[in-house]
Chain A
Amino acid sequence: MIYQGKQKIWSDYQKEIPDDHWYYVRSCIRQNFFPGSERMFLEICRNVLGRDFHETEHHTTCGGIAYHCDTIPQETAMTIVARQFALMTEAGYENYVASCITSFGNYTEILETWHEFPELETRIRELLWKACRKEFRKPKYLAHTSDLIFKYRNEIAEKAVHHLVNKETGEPLRVVEHIGCHYAKMFPSKGIGGAEYPYVLAGMVEAWGGNVIDYPERRHCCGYGFRQYHIKANRGYSVSNTYKKFESMEPYRPDMIITNCPGCPYFLDRWQYVIAETEGKTYGQNGYGIPVFTYEEVAGLVLGYDPWDLGLQLHQVAVEPLLDKIGIPYVPEDKYKGLDRKEIMRPGLPQNLKCY
């Protein structure tokens, strides 16, 4: 293919992201899985980078989990989303940013559906009015929070205290980047780099000093997949997907994994414990696992935040070997201390997976 042709195709998958003034909505499950991430996102955007991010306690779930589990019809999910847009309209914002990949996919799907079937949008407006007397304007711009960290990646790199570099050898860390399926697999033009070559996390890793690993199952699902996990009998299918990914990345000896989806870091992290307990197999060095991070946690580490303030003690796989490798200081005794400096409960240790 001629170079100009490549440039043209690549330009189709770039996003013009507004710089400031965003209406922010949280994820249902990230608050429980890795609660430090969303707090860190707002902390970085508001206090470190000085941007305007508005959030309200009145917003709810986007309905994405129920929709993808086939428990609610799409009209219900659409009315829930319409209410979120109404809250944004009331707050006087036009740019909408979602913390969850599935929400982002859900919003994109709904906006595209309304674009194709305007009569459906009219019906949803009627339903919303009947349900809660609200009206809405559609967002001018819809983004996922990882798009914004991608946009701000160079500003973060300028303020970086640590880099994704092995302090002993000076070599860049080998990083696996894992993109949530609902980011660009449904609507490739809505993700930075499209579905095949998403650049959103790779761009962050490169800007912060790491090396991205390319491995055969790089675009494979993490295994969560909603129905695969939510029905217990199907969980073997979920963990088998994760197992396949780890088997594929193992020969490349990754130092860490970075993800941009609520489910992926959780399952890539927790299933390492299940794989270790059932198969006796661990993927990190010396019996440890490969630590899995959200992009906000990595941004926080790069900016020099305390690992325990980022919530890294909630990870199943021990993060300490990686912190030592980069040279990030931490106080081991503070790992399980709460905000009031009192000891919170310590988890039991697995048999096969080495943990601190």
Chain B
Amino acid sequence: MTYAQAAPAETVSYATADGLLSSVWLLVAIPLVSATILLLLGRRADRWGHWLGVTAVGAAFLLGLSYFLGLRGLENRSVELSLWDFIAVGGLRVDFGLLFDPLAGVFVLLITGVGFLIHLYAVEYMAHDERRRLFFAYFNLFIAAMLLLVLGNNYVMLYFGWEGVGLASYLLISFWYTKPAAATAGKKAFLMNRVGDAGLAIAIFIMFATLGTTQYDEVFNGIGALAGSTVLVLGVLLLLGAAGKSGQFPLQAWLPDAMEGPTPVSALIHAATMVTAGVYLIARSNIIFSANATLQLVVVSVGALTLLIGAIIGCAKDDIKRVLAWSTVSQIGYMFLGVGLGGAAYALAIVHLLAHGFFKANMFLGAGSVMHGMKDQVDIRRFGGLAKYMKITWLTFGAGWLAIIGIIPFSGYFSKEPIVEAAFAREGWTAWLFGGAALLGAGLTAFYMTRLFVLTFHGPKRWTEDIEHPHESPALMTIPLILLAVGSLGGGALLATSVPDWLTTTAGLAETEEHHGVLPHLAIFFLAQGVTVLGAGLGWFLFRGGTATAPQPAGVLVTAARKNLYTDAVNEAVFEKPGIFLTRALVYLDNRGIDGLINGLAAGVGGGSGRLRRLQTGFVRSYATSILTGALLVVAAFLAVQAGWFA
């Protein structure tokens, strides 16, 4: 009745790379060299630098593809490549080594493939920025770090990549640092990520202390010998790291603010790749997570809670990029739910991750295209009727919309619905809890995405006066959109059939037998499609006539916009009131609880430090007194130890 636990039946081991695969390091090296060139040459590279950046990622994609195909012939489809001993002192040994297996492989293809298209798009999008070369240098740096993250063969390598993507993300969010909001958002991202990073760092230290290694194979083989509580602590710390990077509860607040960065950054880093690093971490460490049922429950709860938080807040936002950002938070919640369920659901989560990478990148770039044509405005209340003016953007965004809400036969259906089904396949009442949450999330997703789509592209025009004739973006921006749209439409079916088979050879992702949950398969199909249609229909019905361009001035305009107001009233009564209330509660929680905690910590440190600073008076006599006091304490402590008080 349940998924088989993915217990490692045999020991995990990786073959040594030879032939073509022995040059896997090139994947990381190429973008890194390109970034270095761009940074070192400075203004001299301004004219051609962006093309170098694009070429580097394209080359990495082609290489990644050939490596990926090269895996087919191998026995266990995974190769390890040890480059040099990074640290080797006594019992400590850390390899600078790479691991290329199906899990790493699909990530490489996602990062370089989607990355290439977004690079291409950015050439045009950033054309008017005088620091475009620098932008591409950071972008390449990000790709290199992200590839290192997924290709490392031990947790220290992963940590390097982890810090690297964090740095690149920080640099890119605050790229327009003259905007105070961008600089603040960059800082917020950095601080919240540090909380998660600390969890990961401590987890790595625990591995050293208990297992004496951080190599994946040795850690996974040794995990069975550890005490249950150690595994639990290790797993929770890893989860904290993953939650920080992936914007999961309780560390989700930085992700929407990160939208202050240029749109290609939002698409690449904060939708398609970096934010999924947490999912990668958990999928890679699945043997650790499978070893403890409590741990799995924690992951599943975090995923379910976050997917609801993201979806509810997504309903109440008016900024096109922020709606997409909250939707990313929510979709990653689905992935966490998937990886937390264990067994075959790991593979389902990865499929959803890949599919999401396509359709979310597609929609972000679409949003960028809309902004491009609308003088960088982001308020969906001031859009409307754009379908006529931006045909390609409209069509491609529509493909993304169909994909994310999961209508059969688009890709979201193949990737999201199996997760809903897997949630219902848990035992006992938790099946109803998590399955219900996943189902409710699906309905909400359909609603807010439809609202976004309708308000932007359909209904009456609600443009600001300075917009006369919005235009379609140039070809360099629309071609990536079209390619990503094709991926969004068809990708899911393709991925859902091939990827799970591939991933089952990745250590620990065991194949499972047929299963039945609390509900039959067909019932879940109709339920899921039903709530989706319901959500989308409601969104269409409420917003087909547009919405108020709040804040609303009282007077003549009120009657003129009566019809709009009517929908607003319904909107308010049915969704916005509870939505706003919930959102407010959540935002309150977010601001007071989580941010408060973090800001409070910072303020506490600062204030405490300010108070402490008064201790440093500048008088030699008070210094001498403090040394004397310290000396007395130390002597007393030594004597106390000697007297056996501490022992």
Q: Do A and B bind each other?
A: no
Interface residues of A (CB under 8 A from B): none
